[in-house]
Amino acid sequence: MVKSPIQSEKIKKLDEARKQLSRGWLQTEREKTRLAAAIDNLPLGFLIVDDYNKLVLKNVKVDEILGHRKKGEWDIETIQNKLAGPFDLNGACTKCFHDRKSCGPVDLEFANKFIRIFLSPIFFLKESVTPFGVTLLIEDITADRKAEQEKDKFLSIASHELKAPLAAIRGNTEIILGGSLDDDLRKKINDINNGAIRLIEIVHDFIDASRLEKKIVEFKKEKFLMSALIKEVIDDVKHLIAAKGLVINYVESQNDSAEVIADRERTRQVLYNLIDNSLKFTDRGSINIFSDANRKFLKVSVTDTGLGIDNATKKLLFKKFMVPGKGSGIGLYISKLLVEDMGGEIFLENSQLGKGSTFSFTLPLSAPGL
């Protein structure tokens, strides 16, 4: 049958469309293969779940990290069943999806391992409003966690072993200082005594950090005036402040009669740590303490006119042994553990290089009738 020119043109267009579809399909398959290879070669476990938290995709690293299952695939439910502790992975995925915000990283104990999970919603397009699922990235941090545990164990043992000889050095130097010495020898013995005192303080910090991490520290739940405690602490440290040519002030607010519910002595320790931190990095000017309360919490701020903190160091604050500079870097870490165990928060409120920093912490206010 002879085809008409119109039919021939239609056949030609259909053939061209078929070729384009074929090329497009091949291109799609190549991109799919590349993507699958990239996902499988990720150093992290990679899962995608849909809006019902059902598994859509996972890479081979998931099985390497979590272990190979004899029956079925890893999904949110099977991972949840192996997690130690109260973390709700299913709820976290749902929240991540509906809030359209990333979650994590979260460190969790999984069977005989430690893993770190990061969740993020997935969108088809940047301008999309609703995600179509959630990505989970899983990292095996077992080796790092065990190394950290061994380090903590060593520090704990070393700290306890150092207590007795340091106490002996301090006691004997104080006895010697009570005798008749020439000025040069007295200065040398005094330096030894001060060094021993500082080392004892560091040892106590290590022991405190270890006990706080193990959750074996008992906290009193008592009602007290924060303003009175701040004044006591200032009275205790004012000679150290004056020795450096600085001044310390407490700027009382209209809420200075506000009471908090917390452990008074542990709160004193937090104040000491923040003031000591300011003292180390402030060579001139002043240290000022402010307090203010809202309906639920009282906030205490310690502001100094010191060196300030650069952006790189800000990321390391409140992490054990991570702050460069003077001291062991453990004071802020201990303060964070203490404040959080008492139901509050601690944070760097602001800092400018060459102008100073403000650290703040909050504690719950006492409820009527307590």
Residue 76: partners with Cβ closer than 8 Å, 6 or more residues away: 49, 53, 55, 89, 90, 93
Q: What integer pLDDT is reported at residue 368 of this predicted model?
A: 44
Task: Report the C-alpha gap between 339 and 355 in whole angstroms.
Answer: 26
Q: Is 320 inside a domain boundary?
A: yes
CA–CA distance, 164 with 152 (Å, rounded to integer): 20
Q: Are strands 103-110 and 83-84 parallel, antiparallel or unpaired?
A: antiparallel
pLDDT reported for residue 370 = 42
In a domain, residue 25? The reply is no
Closest CA to 122 of 46, 17, 41: 46
263/307 same-domain check: yes
Q: How many CB atoms lie within 10 A of CB 3?
A: 10
Among residues 194, 214, 234, the one where a domain terminates is 214
| CATH number, domain containing residue 189 | 1.10.287.130
Quick one: 97 and 194 in the same domain? no
The verdict on 235 and 208 lying in the same domain is: no
Phi, psi of 283 (to 5 degrees): -105, -15
Domain count, the chain: 3
Residue 30 inside a domain? The answer is no
Rounded distance between C-alpha atoms, residue 303 and residue 289, angstroms = 6
- Profile the chain (370 residues) by mean pLDDT over runs of 10 residues: 61 67 64 69 87 86 84 82 84 91 88 90 78 90 85 76 83 88 88 84 80 84 92 90 91 78 94 91 93 90 92 83 62 92 94 93 75
Distance CA 217, CA 337 (A): 11
Is the model's pTM score more than 0.75? no
Looking at residue 369, its pLDDT comes to: 38
Is the peptide bond between 165 and the residue preceding it cis, with omega within 30 degrees of 0?
A: no
* Whether residues 156 and 126 fall in one domain: no
Do 101 and 55 sit in the same domain of this protein?
yes
User: CATH number, domain at 249?
Assistant: 3.30.565.10
